[in-house]
A and B are shown apart, each in its own frame.
Chain A
Amino acid sequence: MRPRTKALVAAGSGIAAGLAGLALTTLPAGADDDPVLPAIEPEALVASALAAEPQAFSGQAEVSNELGLPALPGVDALDFESARVFHDGQESARVQLEKPTSEVTFVKNPDEAWAYDSQERAARHVTWDDADAAAAREHAEAQLADPAQAAAQLIEQLRPTSEIVVDGTASVAGRAAYELVLTPKPSEKTLLREVTVAIDEQTRMPLAFDVYANGRTDPVLSLGFTELDLGAQDPTLFDFTPPQGTKVETTDASDAAGHGAGKDSAGKDKAAERMAEHSTTMVGDGWDAVVIADLPSDLPADLPADMPAGMPEGAFGGGQDLAGTLAQIGQPVSGAFGSGTHVGIAVGGAIVTDDGRVAAGAVPQQVLVDALDQQ
């Protein structure tokens, strides 16, 4: 009888302890109660966020993406589980996009930028002279994986046409943060419902950023820190030497701007913008702005086949026939402007017209058509 009792106690307590431990691992990190913070006006919060001193930090960011991007080579750039971000508080940053069996590393310092893809063993090296530094700063798609940068830019763009409120507080990466909610004004004909940015109470650094589209409860794009450590970073992190056997493609920033994919949350309009710096027009402003551009006539007919997957490219690439690709992923549309193909994603879309123009924005198809008609 005694051994039996002993056995029952051992088995019961062992299983209980083990299951409790396993349950511990399921708890999301930093799922604390919402912190209590002094009330703040949204304008003051945005202003202080924009004016905040950049911090030196290292952090882990996670991305979930329900954008419904079409399966094109080059648009799998957002296909990663998590990113490690290092920032020295000034010009230099390192972002590592972690994929299950490979990694894409972006390193940027005042003199150059590197993008290295371990799966393809290829690197792109971007250099610039000081005059082009501003353009190159745009280039790093890595900024998208850096919530701080991405959100700050977005707030700045959206202030004129948005309702901005501070909607309580949240705990992000174990830090107390204000929840800033941006909603498009009713006049905006956009697919976006709201954008939420969590702003750290202490550093005023954006910590998390969620985009909600109409008719969906879950965010279509959610990116934010799960861990954040402030403090100086090892300077060697911001230097990069490609390993032996890497194919290195060096470009100057002025060329790179042509292919630099800067897909922001509003779809491909940045890429389109870059592809046609020479003739871009904006129709409307704010949330429902539509960018119309000419497709560059020198669009490479055949991008090098060694273009690493997941590396920034233009909205179209991979050595494919553009028209054929479009037919696969879009629907034909027509209007007063002529006819073209509409490619839609959860937060917006783009129309490529048959006469070689692109219109893109975070708007429904009809708004794009109207914008083209107006042009």
Chain B
Amino acid sequence: MTAVGPDTRPHADLDPHGTLPARRRAPLGRLLRSELRWIFRRPRTLVVLALLAALPVITGIAVDLTFDGAAAPAPTGGPGPGGSGPGEGPPIFVTMASSAFVLPLGSLMTLLILLLPLTVAMASGDALAGEQSTGALRGWLLAPVARGRLLLVKAVGVLVVALAAATLVATSGLVTGLVLSGTDGLVSMSGTRLSVADVLLRLAIAVAWATVYLMAVGAVALAISASTEHPMLVVVSVLGGLIVSGVLLQISALDWLHPYLLPTSLTSLADLIRDPLALDGLAEGAFRSLCYLVIGMSLAYARLTTRDG
């Protein structure tokens, strides 16, 4: 890939009088457009997004084949200690088959554990560390673009990836569910039937919430990305952070620590399958994500302002 940074040279459009061009700011819209073009031109972005879109389809078909399309209950282990241990039932989309409501939500919940954050980490790693390693970031740092705007452009790029990934998962799950079981099984965990509009609203909330969560991961990843030249390191750090958080969440003696861990919020997504809708848990999760976002972005900004070519 040739390292052609966005075309932001101030003399790109000389005024006809031939006077020295005043130092001008590159229009933000153009910067964003070029950034997004770069992101979606990368084959790896497209491959990962395609994979994310395929997973709900695979899940839905697998569940459908397992239960032969019938809304069968999860098989219990015959007599003996009734089926599953306390508090660890089978995943939601196993117990509620392949409905057009549970499949997208369940896929989103599952993928949010690891794959979606890694996608965002990859985008963040490419945004700063990757461009640094190919030399493309030099153009940015030398161009008349304030460091804050540079970070803003990069963050918007990551945000678009997060939104695209979450939307793709939910949409492909919804479409798969509709193909497999039509509008049957639009049922909440509380046993009430939901209208299609209601389901779409809940999925929209889920996608919005997932985007905020992923953006929090992305902000932390951008902070790492700003301080290294190796995009791989960003992905590995995020992976490590998620795994360590996951382990800490399993240790009940560390209760006091759990509110500080980002993945704590993930369980609240299941609240969207309850009826009537209670948004307290999701609001708290979104707030936690915003805190991480502030921390990540301020660190990334601090690192970028002190960076020279």
Contact = CB atoms under 8 A, between A and B. Distances in A.
Contact of A118 (B70, B95, B305, B306): B95
Nearest to A69: B86
Contacts of B96: 118, 121
B43 interface: no
Given A13-B298, A105-B190, A305-B76, A245 B259 contact: no
A22 B71 contact: no
Interface stretch (B28-36, B77-85, B156-164): B77-85
B287 interface: yes
Interface residues of A, number: 59
B230 interface: no
B92 interface: yes
Interface residues of B, number: 57
B213 to A, nearest CB: 14
B191 A123 contact: yes
Given A14-B298, A73-B81, A3 B95 contact: no
B294 A76 contact: no
A14 B299 contact: yes
Contact of B70 (A24, A26, A100, A245): A245
Contacts of B306: 3-4, 7
A17 interface: yes
B270 interface: yes
Contact of B295 (A7, A18, A121): A18
B82 A79 contact: no
Interface stretch (B19-27, B128-136, B181-189): B181-189
A9 to B, nearest CB: 8
B260 interface: yes
Contacts of B294: 14, 17-18, 21
Contact of B71 (A74, A114, A244): A244
A34 B293 CA distance: 36
B269 to A, nearest CB: 10
A246 interface: yes
Contacts of A243: 185, 187, 191-193
A71 B81 contact: yes
Interface in B64-103: 70-71, 73-74, 76, 78-84, 86-92, 95-97
A244 B184 contact: yes
Contacts of A99: 87, 89
A31 interface: no
Given A105-B191, A309-B84, A245 B185 contact: yes
A319 B83 CA distance: 13
B288 A15 contact: no
A79 B278 contact: no
B187 to A, nearest CB: 4
B288 to A, nearest CB: 6
Nearest to A120: B73
B28 to A, nearest CB: 20
A320 B292 contact: no
Contacts of A74: 82
Interface in B172-217: 184-185, 187, 189-193
A203 to B, nearest CB: 22
Contacts of B232: none
Interface stretch (A160-168, A213-221, A234-242, A265-273): A234-242
A133 B216 CA distance: 54
Contact of A101 (B73, B89, B298): B89
A121 B291 contact: no
Contact of B302 (A11, A234, A242): A11
Interface string A103-125: 10100000000101011111100
A22 B95 contact: no
Contacts of A100: 87-89, 267, 270
A234 B71 CA distance: 30
Contact of B284 (A25, A103, A307): A25
Contact of A14 (B189, B193, B276, B295): B295
B71 A119 contact: no
A65 to B, nearest CB: 11
B297 to A, nearest CB: 7
A176 to B, nearest CB: 22
A17 B271 CA distance: 28
B163 to A, nearest CB: 22
A13 B301 CA distance: 12
Contacts of B86: 76, 79
Interface of B: 70-71, 73-74, 76, 78-84, 86-92, 95-97, 147, 184-185, 187, 189-193, 256, 259-260, 267, 270, 274, 276, 278, 280, 284, 287-288, 290-295, 297-299, 301-303, 305-306
24 contacts: A10-B301, A14-B299, A18-B295, A21-B291, A22-B259, A22-B260, A25-B284, A25-B287, A74-B82, A79-B87, A84-B278, A105-B190, A105-B191, A116-B190, A118-B95, A121-B96, A122-B73, A241-B193, A243-B187, A243-B193, A245-B97, A246-B191, A309-B84, A320-B79
Interface of A: 3-4, 6-8, 10-11, 13-15, 17-19, 21-22, 24-26, 60, 71, 73-74, 76, 79, 84, 96, 98-103, 105, 114, 116, 118-123, 227, 234, 237, 240-247, 305-307, 309, 318-320
